[in-house]
Structure 1
Amino acid sequence: MITLLRSSSDPCSKNFQDIWFPIVFLIVVTMHQHWLKCIVGALLLFVLSTCQSEPDQTDRNQPDVGQNSSTRYATCEMSPNLPLVEGMPQIYGRVLFRQGNPNGTVRVLLWFNGFPTGSGPQPRALHIHQYGNLMNGCGLTGSHFNPEGVTHPNHLGDLGNFVPQQGKIRAAFESEVTLFGHLSVLGRAVSIHQGRDDLGLGGNDGSLIHGNAGVVLSCCVIGITSPDLWSAHIAQIRGI
């Protein structure tokens, strides 16, 4: 009995509510002073409302996926740019990120569909942009992510060119970006372009700013996710 009472000391615990609330209710009912009934009844209602507003203890103890074992996973779910130029392909898919710790290397997976399947597949440029603002399609994502203030193609957000095969891009590579700290790419945008990034060799001002990669076909915002997506996609890419 003593053990049960000790385990019921939390007024929001199920044991406390099962044992003490009926007792308090009986005391209130048998009271003769009306004013005292009102006070005790109000206190009982207050405790009940407080318990109902608190999250379940299981939820409070559940670790955030972004803090799980210090390994951080992120995803970026691609949607076609709006308005998309007529005749441009509609690209769907995702970019996945994995980083084992704040000082570890980021691994990136690309999983895109929707490219033309005609002869001579064209390389497509992939960039991380400064802002995760998709209120106007992909037009408000800002410049390439470039916290070091260097010229293109040395931005942290310059991820390179990727060649579709049979209308798809499946790729895995490492990047110098991070998912931790003030330089984290979480909340920033990823865009895939109509054309090839000239890697700063185009001989004009645009080449040193954005690589003359053309219009954005599709974009997304990077956000924390669970390890499940990464595990599923990396297994499929290894099987290709």
Structure 2
Amino acid sequence: VPWTSLPGLLRPSCHSFLDPFLGTFPLPADRPESPISSFTLGLSDMHDKVTAIWQQLTQRAAEPGAPGSALHAACRVQPSASLDPAQPRVSGLVLFRQPAPGAPLEAFFHLDGFPAERNGSRRAIHVHRFGDLSPGCEAAGPHYNPRAAPHPHHPGDFGNFAVRDGRVRKHRGGLAASLAGPHSIVGRAVVVHAGEDDLGRGGDPASLDHGNAGRRLACCVVGVCGPLPWARAAREHAERRKRRRDSDCQAA
């Protein structure tokens, strides 16, 4: 039985449950407390203790930084099934971490397969409404926009990512999306676009809808996972930063 169900199962409603039996076992006049009433009091006391334990556990789990409080999710990016052969085949992994429900979301974006072009080109990445990718990324529907806000103020408007040597390697924090609550992005699609997001400044209705980001090259569905993939990505990220600092120091 889940811990969250115990308080409801042990709620002291046994009086109504035992009412039909009270007439079957008449209580002696010289005994103010019967075995049945003792059982009722004991069960009520057990309910109070279990409720107190349950409240302590859930309160502790909700505290940021508490063991097991962080939420993790992964999204394995694959090329869209509807691409023609001339389009690049982008694949990779997007990892999410949220320290606690309501806390800002952070993510690692590791993508490969972009065309060999000048460094500094930028590609848009967004969260879309549906997790249906079977006919291609077009089936993911429009941007996930639960509050009917204009672009780029949707929860999953992650913006643009610089491509270097055909790859994206980026950590980004302070994201408005969430892995918990009524507007969770779990089960929805992350879409990698062929173009750059104009961030709502394009001067046309499409700009306020999807940022004129172009064709959908690749996509994936966000699913919950354990903390190990995030820990591995964080370690690799720290090692890359250290190598970059060391290289800059040698150059200086």
TM-score by length of 1: 0.70
Question: What is the CA-CA distance between 1:165 and the residue it aligns to?
Answer: 1.0
Does 1:151 pair with 2:150? yes
Give yes or no for contact 2:124–2:194 (8 Å, CA) kept in 1.
yes
Q: Please give the secondary structure, in 1, of the residue aligned with 2:207.
A: helix
Letter paired with 2:178: T
Letter paired with 1:158: D
Question: What is the CA-CA distance between 1:87 and the residue it aligns to?
Answer: 2.0
Which residue of 1 is the match for residue 111 of structure 2? Answer: 112
- 1:1-240 equivalences in 2 (<5 Å): 69-174=68-173, 175-240=175-240
User: C-alpha separation between the residues in 1 aligned to 2:202 and 2:187?
Assistant: 30
Which residue of 2 is the match for residue 6 of structure 1? Answer: none
For 1:109-155, what per-residue CA distance to the aligned partner results, in whole angstroms no more than 9, with x for missing partners?
10001112232442000000011111211111111111111111111
CA 1:71–1:182 in 2, change beyond 3 Å: closer, same or farther? Answer: same
Q: Please give the secondary structure, in 2, of the residue aligned with 1:148.
A: coil
Give yes or no for contact 2:145–2:155 (8 Å, CA) kept in 1.
yes
Count of residues in Structure 1 that have an aligned counterpart in Structure 2 = 173
User: C-alpha separation between the residues in 1 aligned to 2:198 and 2:84?
Assistant: 22
Q: Give percent identity, aligned residues only.
A: 39
User: C-alpha separation between the residues in 2 aligned to 1:176 and 1:152?
Assistant: 13
Give yes or no for contact 2:114–2:167 (8 Å, CA) kept in 1.
yes
Question: What is the CA-CA distance between 1:162 and the residue it aligns to?
Answer: 0.3
Greater shift, 218-227 or 140-149, is seen at 140-149
Greater shift, 159-168 or 80-89, is seen at 80-89
User: C-alpha separation between the residues in 2 aligned to 1:153 and 1:72?
Assistant: 25
Which residue of 2 is the match for residue 34 of structure 1? Answer: none
User: C-alpha separation between the residues in 2 aligned to 1:225 and 1:100?
Assistant: 14
Letter paired with 2:82: P
Q: Please give the secondary structure, in 2, of the residue aligned with 1:239.
A: helix
TM-score by length of 2: 0.66
Letter paired with 1:83: S
For 1:51-93, what per-residue CA distance to the aligned partner results, in whole angstroms no more than 9, with x for missing partners?
xxxxxxxxxxxxxxxxx71211100000000121332210110
User: C-alpha separation between the residues in 2 aligned to 1:111 and 1:238?
Assistant: 14
User: C-alpha separation between the residues in 2 aligned to 1:86 and 1:214?
Assistant: 17
For 1:165-224, what per-residue CA distance to the aligned partner results, in whole angstroms no more than 9, with x for missing partners?
111101111201111111111000000000000111111111110111110000000001
User: C-alpha separation between the residues in 2 aligned to 1:99 and 1:233?
Assistant: 15
Question: What is the CA-CA distance between 1:103 and the residue it aligns to?
Answer: 1.9
